[in-house]
Amino acid sequence: MKKLFAIATLIAGTLMMVSCSDDDGGTSVDAPEVTAPGAADVTTGQSIELSFNYNAVGGFAASAVAATGGTASVTTDGEAGATSGTITVTFEAGDEGAGSVVLTVTDAEGNADDATVVLTIVAEDVTPVITVRGNIETNTTWTADNIYQLDTRVTVVDGVTLTIEPGTVIKGNEGQGAAATALLVARGGMLMAEGTAELPIIFTSVNDPIDPSDIAAGNYASTTSPTTAGEWGGVIILGNAQISVQNDNDEDVTEVQIEGIPASDPNGLYGGTDNADNSGVITYISIRHGGTNIGAGNEINGLTLGGVGSGTTISNVEVVANADDGIEWFGGNVSVDNVVIWNSNDDSMDTDQDWVGTCSNFIIVTPVTGSAFELDGPEGSLNRGTHQFTNGVVYAGAEIDHIIDWDGSTNAGVSDVYFFGLTDGAGNIESYGGDGTGVNTGWETDLADAGTYFLDDDDADSATPSIALPSGVVTYGVAVGSKTKGPSAADFAWTWAGNSGALADLGL
């Protein structure tokens, strides 16, 4: 019996000692558990975010990170005392090769655990650059896995088709005068530049770092300034449709040399008798930083259309920061829809020589010293009808010359357009209505009244007062959020202006 009592006493003492040990700071808490994300690839010079999960029964106290092949830092840490959570680590890759990130978590009891993610650092993909010079004399395709760098004026000659795949980037070298770079499609040539809303085709300057991989990732905005102009030429399409023009002897002629191309280049001729002429399909293209000068007062437009026939399809076009006009039509019959002209350094849309097509669903933003519309009519005896601009938006800005500038002989109309962003002393109407054949109705503006803007200001330099526009043309006091005319920014998400938020910032 005494023996059994002694054993019981020993057990009780032992239990008491264990209990005292716990009270005196000993530990039986499980150590933390840290789980790393899976292995990953990262491009040299680029960064990647890594999410580690942890469980810490003893409560989170601290974390530490170490890396090989680059540098790492904790960007989102655990919460003090938390028993579980996620810690985010940013790793910036160094040179090509192997890398790793080790995260250690320590709890409030001093216990620790770590986990490692294995990284492969890969070389940055460099898109091959193909330099293009001179004439394209055989059917050719440009693909989105290259950048095509125009080193001279590049011409698609008669009988040849240039196909440009969606998502392709074309860059023009700097140069002026005879060295100006441009893409010219001569009469009889074909341009099949069929981009998409997801993969637009970008024409820009060699100084623009945009890459086809940016386009594929949905990043359509350039990192260059949207006001930098004149760094290369532009895109010029010439056709065999009718034009109205005369020679130096005031005689009607059927063909002339396009502006921006030296007279020594016969591929610069346009005009003819085939109003259904087909120069190809041009859709979802953005033309940036163009308009270089080839001579005194002779710049290249963003998109020039000379004698282009109705068989040509042109839809979804953006022109940004062109040193001359955004789009200029010289005769012909082609129609264009879904257009953004942003920061043109002259007129946004310019017409000449009896163009008889339509331009619909357009946005014009901040012409610089030029007009939103410069509308000129026939220059010869040929007058085939009218051309019409319809369903648009014009944001004037402080540097606009005129909202619309008609010549007295202009066969053109402007209908269903919302005008806003007008500032004092800028943006009035000059010589309203042209020859009267166009439709001019359905204008809206946020202005409370006509002020000095919606007036026929043809006699602005004389003592004759300006004349108010005909009654019913303009509806005043329409806020941008209540407009019923023109497209919205959502229609142009594929453009630089849309993708960068510039259109949305205007309330469109």
Determine the pLDDT at residue 294.
73
Query: Over the stretch 377-423, which tens digit does the pLDDT of each residue have?
Result: 999 999 999 999 999 999 999 999 999 999 888 999 999 999 999 98
Kindly tell me if the per-residue pLDDT of 216 is higher than 80: yes
What is the spatial distance between Cα 95 and Cα 74, in angstroms, rounded to a whole number?
A: 21
Determine the pLDDT at residue 19.
40
Kindly tell me if the per-residue pLDDT of 428 is higher than 70: yes
How many other CB atoms sit within 10 Å of the CB of residue 485? 19
Kindly tell me if the per-residue pLDDT of 10 is higher than 70: no
Q: What is the mean pLDDT of residues 209-235?
A: 96
What is the spatial distance between Cα 207 and Cα 203, in angstroms, rounded to a whole number?
A: 12
What is the spatial distance between Cα 339 and Cα 194, in angstroms, rounded to a whole number?
A: 15
Determine the pLDDT at residue 455.
83
Residue 452: which pLDDT band, with cuts at 50, 70 and 90? Answer: confident
Q: What is the mean pLDDT of residues 4-31?
A: 47
What is the spatial distance between Cα 59 and Cα 286, in angstroms, rounded to a whole number?
A: 56
Residue 467: which pLDDT band, with cuts at 50, 70 and 90? Answer: confident
* Burial 63-99, CB ≥16 within 10 A → b, else e: bebebbbbebeeeebbeeeeeebebebbbbbbeeeeb
Higher pLDDT among residues 21 and 94, named by residue: 94
Residue 488: which pLDDT band, with cuts at 50, 70 and 90? Answer: very high
- Residue 482 buriedness (CB in 10 A; 0-12 / 13-18 / 19+): exposed
Query: Over the stretch 83-110, which tens digit does the pLDDT of each residue have?
Result: 999 999 999 999 999 999 999 999 999 9
Kindly tell me if the per-residue pLDDT of 253 is higher than 50: yes
Q: Is the dihedral of CA 322, 327, 328, 332 positive or negative?
A: positive
Percent of the chain with pLDDT over 70: 92
Determine the pLDDT at residue 423.
84
Report the Cα–Cα distance between both ends of the chain, in Å, rounded. Answer: 97
Determine the pLDDT at residue 295.
62
- 409, 378 in Cβ contact below 8 A? yes
Residue 450: which pLDDT band, with cuts at 50, 70 and 90? Answer: confident
Kindly tell me if the per-residue pLDDT of 464 is higher than 80: no
Kindly tell me if the per-residue pLDDT of 466 is higher than 60: yes
Please give the C-alpha separations between residue 368 and each of 320, 324, 325, 343, in angstroms, as whole numbers: 12, 10, 10, 6
Q: Which helix (H) or strand (E) holds 459?
A: none
3-state secondary structure of 63: strand
Kindly tell me if the per-residue pLDDT of 47 is higher than 80: yes
Q: What is the mean pLDDT of residues 472-500?
A: 96
Count helices and strands in the chain by DSSP H and E runs: 4, 41
Find all residues with CB under 8 Å of 370, minimum gap 6, and list them.
325, 344, 345, 346, 347, 348, 400, 401
Determine the pLDDT at residue 355.
98
Determine the pLDDT at residue 23.
41
3-state secondary structure of 482: helix
Q: Provide φ and ψ at 254, rounded to 5°.
A: -100, -10
Q: Establish how many alpha carbons lie within 13 A of residue 269's alpha carbon, considering only the half-sphere containing its beta carbon.
A: 12
pTM value is: 0.78
Indicate the average pLDDT of the chain. Answer: 91
Q: What is the mean pLDDT of residues 448-456?
A: 85
What is the spatial distance between Cα 475 and Cα 487, in angstroms, rounded to a whole number?
A: 18
Query: Over the stretch 193-213, which tens digit does the pLDDT of each residue have?
Result: 999 999 999 999 999 999 999
Determine the pLDDT at residue 459.
54
Query: Over the stretch 276-332, which tens digit does the pLDDT of each residue have?
Result: 999 999 999 999 999 998 765 677 999 999 999 999 999 999 999 999 999 999 999
DSSP 80: T
